[in-house]
Amino acid sequence: MDVITRLRKRRRGGSGRNMLALALLLPALLYVLAVTFYPALYALQVSLHDTTYFTIGRFVGLKHYLRFLSEPDGRNNILRSLIYMGASVAIALPLGLFLAMLLNKPIRFRVFFRGAIIVPWLISQIATALLWGWLVNPQYGPIPYLLLQVSGVQLGLLADPYQAMATLVAANVWRSFPLPTLLFLAALQAVPQDMLDAAVVDGATGLRRFWYVIFPVIRNTALIAFILLTLHYFNMVTLPLVLTGGGPVGATDVMTLRIFREGFSFYRLDIASAVAMVVFALNIVFSLVYVKILRAEPLY
């Protein structure tokens, strides 16, 4: 038998390989669904009932949802989540782009700068919370001390409602700005150097060069970074839980903290599940809006 016919036979027998592919993917799918989709359905079911500890009681429809959405605490949770998410992304995304453009230049010590800038992303949220808790410690922390020297005002970085949110956002941006920086840095590699040179020859200034040459290439990356960051911030628990615990007076009490508290401090699994479903629903809304934006506009 010559090589060609043997190959043809193999190709026709390729259905064996396809069965193998299905056999490999199907268990993976079932397993992943069992640990993600099934619990989500379970949470939906719990959220529609009254619960006492672990016992599911009678069906109450949307009672827990309506209560959460109508009470001041619930609206405060939603507002705090949006402020935390919005402020963090509004700082981290432009900062990441700016740093990526600097790192993309032919500079010395690039590996050092890039490495130093990535390190915070490797630090866990809990370690970030503990490090920052010590940095802003009102008695011995270096940051309140330095701010006092500069401004002459004794700040209450975790005691004042506005300052606590600002501190939380600062710690969050510190940990997460490496992600957009890395994404933009990768995208900038795709900007053709000769196009930049041509733009310079044509007399394009920095801003125009950015807008007409660089921005079209990195636009999709900017959207993807925006999606990743907003969802990451919105779903975050650990950093706010450990750094501020939602305080003072609810100033940093984001939705995810409410879920955690209702579920594991008060054992109100019904309320916790209802808020969890609202968070899930908002995730879907955000994603759909993003997908729509991504699809709607052509790349160039």
Judged by CB, which is closer to another protein: 1, or 296? 1
Q: Which of 37, 59, 211, 212 binds another protein (CB under 8 A)?
A: 37
Chain Cα centroid distance, residue 132: 19
Judged by CB, which is closer to another protein: 88, or 256? 256
Instruction: Answer yes or no whether residue 107 interacts with another protein by CB under 8 A.
Output: yes
CB-count exposure of residue 57 (10 Å: 0-12, 13-18, 19+): exposed
Give the whole-angstrom CA distance, residue 48 versus residue 42.
10
Q: Which of 26, 90, 289, 293 binds another protein (CB under 8 A)?
A: 26
Q: Candidates 7-15, 83-91, 196-204, 212-220: pick the segment binding another protein (CB under 8 A).
A: 7-15
Q: Taking CB under 8 A as the criterion, which residues in 44-73 touch another protein?
A: 46, 54
CB-count exposure of residue 163 (10 Å: 0-12, 13-18, 19+): middle
Judged by CB, which is closer to another protein: 212, or 267? 267
Instruction: Answer yes or no whether residue 284 interacts with another protein by CB under 8 A.
Output: yes
Instruction: Answer yes or no whether residue 126 interacts with another protein by CB under 8 A.
Output: yes
Q: Which of 93, 97, 251, 259 binds another protein (CB under 8 A)?
A: 259
Q: Which of 57, 59, 124, 289 binds another protein (CB under 8 A)?
A: 124
Judged by CB, which is closer to another protein: 139, or 193? 139
209-214 own/partner pairs: CB under 8 Å, 24+ apart: 214/101, 214/188
Provide the 3-class DSSP secondary structure of residue 58.
strand
State the helix-helix crossing angle for 269-296 and 255-264, rounded to 10 degrees. Answer: 150
Q: Taking CB under 8 A as the criterion, which residues in 192-251 touch another protein?
A: 228, 231-232, 234-238, 241-242
User: Residue type for 298, please?
Assistant: P
Instruction: Answer yes or no whether residue 290 interacts with another protein by CB under 8 A.
Output: no
Q: Which residues contact 166 (CB under 8 A, 6 or more apart)?
A: 157
Q: Taking CB under 8 A as the criterion, which residues in 130-189 touch another protein?
A: 130-132, 134-135, 137, 139-142, 145, 174, 178-179, 182-183, 186
Q: What is the DSSP code (8-state) at residue 202?
A: T
